[in-house]
Every structure is written in C-alpha cells, then in structure tokens.
Amino acid sequence: MMDENDQTKRKAFLGLVWLMILLGILLFIPAGTLKFWQAWVYLIIFGGSSFLITLFLIKEDMELLKRRLRAGAAAEQEKSQKIIQILAFFSFIGIIILPGFDHRFGWSRIPIYLVVVGEILELFGFIIVFRVFRENSFTSATIEVAANQKVVSTGPYSIVRHPMYSGVLLLLLFTPVALGSFWDLLIAVFIFMIVIWRLLDEEKFLAKNLPGYTDYCQKTRFRLIPKIW
C-alpha cells in the first residue's frame, strides 16, 4: 500500500500527463493537423519545464508539492477566488484553443523570430516560477495562510511582492506569440486582468491574516513589475 508521499508523487505525475494530453488535444484538433511546429515547441518547453519542477519538488519540498496539487475553484475558500479560478480556467482553455484555429485558417502571420522570442520568454516564465518555489515553501495554489507561515522577503520577493504571478503572466502573455497567433493576444489581455484581480484580492487577504505582511508591502513597493507597478 502506498504511503502519502507516494500517493502525492503518483497524483503529480498523472496530473502532468493528463495536462499534456489535454494541451495536445486543445492545440492540434482545432489546427486540424499535427504539422504545427509552434505547438510542438510550446509543448516541449511546457511539459519539460513542468516535469523538472515536479522532480525538484519531490526531492526538496514534498509539502509544497502537496499545496500545489490542491488547486482549482473547489479548493478555494474565498467566494471571490472561486469566481476568479473559474474565469482563469476557461480563459486558459481559450488561449490554448484559439491558436489552432488561427493556424488552420491563416488569420495571423507572425515572423519566426517573434515566435522564437515567445518560446524563450515562455521558458523564462517557468524559470521565475522555479525560483519562487525554491524561495517560498508556502506558495500554495490557493489563497490561504498556513499555521506556521511567515512573510518571505528574500530572493525574488525582495524585488516584487508577487514574483509567482510575474512568472505566470510572462508565460501566458507570450503564449499567443509562441503559438503564432496575434488574435490570441485578446484572451491574453483578459487573463492579465484576471490575474490582477486575484493579486489585489490576495493582498487584502494576506494583510488581514499574515502577520508582518503590511510591513513587507511598505518595504517592497512593487507588486508585479520592478520599477513600474
């Protein structure tokens, strides 16, 4: 019989496999072909980065992995966050589906060098996420405060208050370019607004429930983008 850690590992890897299958379906069926090289590169970077991060968490921080697996609208405690999670889920589906139709019908013509830039920034987004996981073991997928949680102000948290969102937004905002679809940028803008909503709502929650967070906000001025906001 598997212990709790073995069950967590199994759940993490199975979840990743199903996610990659879903992404492949959402990309290639709308495209009507497997000859969609932008999608293949995107999947390799997405899947490879996610796999390596999962291996790191299994080796170094099983508790964080467990926190990350408790995700989605059903796992949220705040009503506003449940709504945000639902909107984020459907927006993510949309940002993956639209490039396939764009590829099939030729709505966009994005130069190869821009696609490459998009793929590189996708990878950089994952690197930021990995750096956040190394620094903060309390990076839950839901808005919550653990019993022994403390404010983290080192590493990327010394630059912006929400480096996790910085990495995720970098990944998502350049997904349209990486997949060769200018039209997909419309969904990316909507996702950006959803993340900002979640971020501001999370700050209110943390200021109320995490001791020292208000002082941290005064010391670390920028929320998402260094020197800008």
Q: Reduced to 3 DSSP states, what percent helix, strand and coil does the chain have, rounded to the nearest 5? A: 70, 0, 30
Q: Read off the DSSP letter of residue 96.
A: H
Average pLDDT, the chain: 90
In a domain, 225, yes or no: no
In a domain, 224, yes or no: no
What pLDDT does 130 receive? Answer: 93
For residue 121, give Cα distances in angstroms to 58, 125, 215. Answer: 26, 6, 32
What pLDDT does 100 receive? Answer: 96
What pLDDT does 2 receive? Answer: 61
Domain count, the chain: 1
User: Residue 100 sits in which domain range?
Assistant: 4-219
Looking up residue 180, the CATH number of its domain turns out to be 1.20.120.1630
Q: Which two tokens stand for residue 14?
A: 């199975």
Q: Read off the DSSP letter of residue 192.
A: H
Distance CA 94, CA 187 (A): 7
In a domain, 27, yes or no: yes
In a domain, 82, yes or no: yes
Q: Which two tokens stand for residue 100?
A: 């396939």
In the predicted model, residues of the chain with pLDDT beneath 50 are none
What pLDDT does 1 receive? Answer: 54
Distance CA 130, CA 88 (A): 21
In a domain, 229, yes or no: no
For residue 9, give Cα distances in angstroms to 3, 43, 55. Answer: 10, 22, 9
In a domain, 226, yes or no: no
In a domain, 170, yes or no: yes
In a domain, 20, yes or no: yes
